[in-house]
Amino acid sequence: MDKIVELNGVNKVYGTNRVVKDLNLFVEEGEFLTLLGSSGCGKTTTLRMIAGFEEPTTGTIKVQGENVEAKEPFERNVNTVFQSYALFPHMTIYENIAYGLKVKKVSKAEIKKSVLEMLDLVQLNGFEHRYPSQLSGGQKQRVAIARALINHPKVLLLDEPLGALDLKLRKQMQLELKRLQKKLNITFIYVTHDQEEALTMSDRIAVMHDGVIDQLASPTEIYEHPKTKFVATFIGETNIYDGCITSIKGEIANITLENGEVSVKCPEDFSILEYASVSVRPEKMKFSTKKVDGFGLVAQVKDYVYVGSVLKCIVALPNGNELKIERLAGQELPKVGSKCYPYWNPEDAVLIHNESHYIFEALNNIKLA
């Protein structure tokens, strides 16, 4: 597949604030890529640089192999769907959608054909003579999408387009957007802070944190094999603890945590005595009334929370840390207040390099010396 958008060493600095740091990103043609992160992580700035509303301080941006960083937004073959919809309030829906063709001086007959086609695509036939103020949030969003698509852009940029919609409508629009993207085979670059949305829609997710892409991978990969502590905690719920790898036997590593030792499947790039974090999803956690081989955690059942399909158990470790464990409702469970032994299948847990392990090592070296 071809790279349709390329960002190379892009930095964006506002005053003394470095919002985007040495960003490298390649977007493949026809894919649905999501920039995911909490507010202030630089995801919207990145999108705005691709759209042309912001200029990168340093670095290059290529669209279809052509450098665009000095080009105006209207000179790039990308279009944007804005979070606030940004529909022109003084124009009808028809005029709004036709705008991109009108400024290009396309003939009236052709405009009409295209606009009706677009209205059909977003299922808003018959709305052409209304004004944006007469539409609901979801309908406005569809108009914004139709307006952005009428120029047949190579890339569609979407800046939290569903942010203002209620949950039910948002879920429906997510599926619809995905359907639209597949049908038109256009590259979508989608910005959101909603991790569920990202997991549902994307081909690939770039998790951004503090101006840097922490991990760029498929939703499954991101969920099951997070590369950093931030990714592990940001995507879904997880139990995460720091510890030291004390032994590696074949594929299994023994990690000593503050509360005891645990076993985790160990990838090749980890070595003995390294400080690392262990992340286990609540649905992968188990607990037993007897001690399990390779696990030294002892905990007390604190509470059960019924959330419909599953039962969430909260168990407390001796140092006060809590673990979240998800069980299917209806199973027999230890009583609140009783002792239990949390464990998991070693391959269900993920070992993550601790970003600060170099500091621990340095401290150790000092101690040894």
Give phi and psi for 39, each to the nearest 5: -65, 140
Note whether 174 binds another protein by CB under 8 A.
no
277 exposure class (CB count in 10 Å sphere: 0-12, 13-18, 19+): buried
CB of 80 to another protein, least distance (A): 5
> How far apart (Å, rounded) are the C-alpha atoms in residues 145 and 181?
11
Q: Which stretch binds another protein (CB under 8 A): 10-18, 70-78, 297-305, 325-333?
A: 70-78
> How far apart (Å, rounded) are the C-alpha atoms in residues 239 and 204?
24
| Per-residue binding letters, 143-172, with another protein (x by CB under 8 A) | ----xx--x---------------------
Decide whether 100 or 243 has the Cβ nearer to another protein. Answer: 100
CB of 86 to another protein, least distance (A): 4
Note whether 36 binds another protein by CB under 8 A.
no
In degrees, rounded to 5, the angle at the alpha carbon of residue 267 between the alpha carbons of residues 261 and 269 is 105
The token duo for 85 is 């919809």
| Per-residue binding letters, 77-116, with another protein (x by CB under 8 A) | --xx-x-x-xxxxx--------xx-xxx------------
> How far apart (Å, rounded) are the C-alpha atoms in residues 37 and 46?
12
Note whether 52 binds another protein by CB under 8 A.
yes
Number of residues that bind another protein (CB under 8 A): 23
Distance set, CA 348 to CA 1, 111, 251, 318 (Å)? 32, 55, 13, 23
CB of 79 to another protein, least distance (A): 6
Decide whether 76 or 209 has the Cβ nearer to another protein. Answer: 76
- Contact of 198 with 34, CB cutoff 8 Å: yes
Note whether 51 binds another protein by CB under 8 A.
yes
Distance set, CA 304 to CA 105, 208, 308 (Å)? 65, 34, 12
Decide whether 191 or 278 has the Cβ nearer to another protein. Answer: 191
Note whether 141 binds another protein by CB under 8 A.
no
**At residue 300, what is the residue type?**
Q
Greatest extent of the chain over all pairs of C-alpha atoms, in Å: 83
Residues near another protein (CB under 8 A): 51-53, 72-74, 79-80, 82, 84, 86-90, 99-100, 102-104, 147-148, 151
